[in-house]
Every structure is written in C-alpha cells, then in structure tokens.
Amino acid sequence: MVREDNAKLLLDALKRTGVNFVASLPDFSLVRVVERLFEDKDFIHVPLSREEEGVGVCAGAYLTGKRCALLMQNAGMLNACNSLSTTALQFQIPMLLLVLYAGYRGDVAFPTLGQVTEPVLDALRIPHHILGRVEDAYEVFGGALVQAYNMKKPVAVLMAKWIF
C-alpha cells in the first residue's frame, strides 16, 4: 500500500508540471494516489472503467487546452494499445502515461507483463522513462511532458512499485 506522504509528493510534482487533467484506473499500489485525485480540486479527475477510454478522454481534453495524464497499471496500458495507435499517435496528441510497472525488477508477480511492457512501448515508438525515486518525480514528469509536447505523442513514465 502506498505511503500517504509519497502519494502527496507524486501529485505535487505532477501539479508543478502544469498537468490539470488526469484519467485513472487504480492498482493496489496506486490507491492512495487515486484517493487523493478524487479530493484534489486542482485536477479534473476522470475515473475510468477501462484504460482504452482514457486515451480518448485525454485526447479530447488536450484539444481544449488541458495538460493530460493517464494513470494506470501496465496491464491496462496493453488494453489501450489500439487507441494509443489510432488516436494518440495518429492525431499527434501529447499526454503523460503514468504506468505502475508490475513485473519490474524485484517484483514477484506479473512475470509476463514485466517482459512485454517496454518492448510494446518500443514497438509503438512511445518513449519511456523509469521513475525509481519519489524525489525524482518532478524532473521525470516534467521532462517527459516537455518531450511529449515536443514530439507530439504520448510519453510513458514507468513507476517502480517500491516508490509507493
């Protein structure tokens, strides 16, 4: 379960990058972050039922001038591959993909997810960065956001479980 202070630090870092619109689906590690999103009036928060819709919701919000992030687990990122291809990439929509990296180094669950996540992002030509320390959140989120707008495409931040 995510520590309360880290959930706050992560959202504060995200806020400093100017992100003001977040669509989300929870993972056990993301619970405290999602709970805060429901309360935090600085974000428009859209709770999803499936990750693929989140790409569409963020794309629509981007077209109106919002800075958008889609928060999910990597299994859900795989659910979103078609909309990432035919909406986000094909229409050149920048957004942050904040992905809980199940099956990453040290994780004893989700071995298959851990193996396919980065190759799938590579195949989609979506740049990805690992966030392994909460203290780095602002630098990684901000850098990924600049890259997303510069390249006009989604950029993923793969968040290790141990930061929560």
**Residues that bind other proteins in the complex, under the rule CB under 8 A:** 17-18, 21, 44, 46-50, 52-68, 82-83, 86-87, 90-93, 139, 142-143, 145-146, 149-150
**The one-letter amino acid at 39:** E
Nearer to other proteins, 30 or 95 (CB): 95
Q: How far is the CB of 108 from other proteins (least distance, A)?
A: 30
Nearer to other proteins, 62 or 164 (CB): 62
User: Alpha carbon 44 to chain centroid distance?
Assistant: 15
Q: Which is nearer to other proteins, 2 or 83 (CB)?
A: 83
List of residues 6+ apart from 100 with CB closer than 8 A = 27, 29, 30, 72, 73, 74, 159, 161, 164
Shortest distance, position 150 Cβ to other proteins, whole Å: 8
Q: What is the CA radius of gyration of the chain?
A: 14
What's the closest the beta carbon of residue 142 comes to other proteins, in angstroms? 5
CB 110 within 8 A of CB 75: yes
Q: Which is nearer to other proteins, 26 or 54 (CB)?
A: 54
- CB contact set of 160 (below 8 Å; sequence gap of 6+): 101, 104, 105, 106, 130, 131, 132
